[in-house]
Amino acid sequence: MKDRMLAGQEYMANDPDLIADGRRAAALTARYNAELDPDARRELLGELLGSVGPNTSIRSDLRCDYGYNVHVGANVFVNWGAVLLDVGRITIGDFVQFGPNVQLLTATHPLDAGRRREGWEGSAPITIGDDVWFGGGVIVLPGVTVGARTVVGAGAVVTKDLPEGVLALGNPARVVREIG
């Protein structure tokens, strides 16, 4: 099921291997969120995430589904309360900044109620370019790419791709101007 999940195909969320992976991530995030020693936190983050670059800081309370589908670049700052629903791949570039309570949501669900009741889900990856800044409470939906040097204002809901070097605001997020 993991291969189907990562390929963006529908998969069964109640697959025993995925449940075990989710429990592993829950245990690691609980330890990470409770740990105060910076070196121990860095080690736990390296164990949890697929990859993490140098000089990256992720504050507690971090939440993720599996962790191994999250790839974070160098010199990234993630403020409190980040939610990284990584049933699909999440790629975060270098020098990215998150305000508090940012959510990256890769999970998709069938519109058909019967398929949802059966436990089917899907995913679409999220890619964040270098030097992006998300204000507090930004939500990024499945399948979105945010171009380098883009700023997304607090509370925005990003429903579609954003180009490089723009300021986007609102729900849904709309480009209001280019950033020089």
Q: How far apart are CA 28 and CA 63, in angstroms?
A: 10
Residue 6 has pLDDT above 90, yes or no: no
Cβ-Cβ contacts under 8 Å for 50 (sequence gap 6 or more): 67, 68, 69, 70, 71
Residue 7 has pLDDT above 90, yes or no: no
Q: Quick count: other Cβ atoms within 10 Å of Cβ 60?
A: 15
Match 């949890």 to its residue by tokens: 48
- Name the pLDDT band for 2 (thresholds 50, 70, 90): confident
Q: How far apart are CA 144 and CA 173, in angstroms?
A: 12
CATH superfamily of 2-178: Hexapeptide repeat proteins (2.160.10.10)
C-alpha dist (Å) from residue 38 to 43, 52, 98: 9, 15, 19
pLDDT in tens, 76-96: 999 999 999 999 999 999 999
DSSP state of 126: E
Which of 121, 114, 96 lies closest to 22 in space, CA to CA? Answer: 121
Catalytic, out of 23, 109, 116, 160? 109
Three-state DSSP at 127 gives: strand
* pTM greater than the 0.85 cutoff: yes
Residue 177 has pLDDT above 90, yes or no: yes
Cβ-Cβ contacts under 8 Å for 160 (sequence gap 6 or more): 144, 172
Mean of pLDDT values over 112-124: 94
Question: Would you call the peptide bond into 38 cis, given omega within 30 degrees of 0 as the criterion?
Answer: no
Domains in the chain: boundaries: 2-178
Residue 144 has pLDDT above 90, yes or no: yes
- Tell me, yes or no, if 109 is annotated catalytic: yes
DSSP state of 77: E
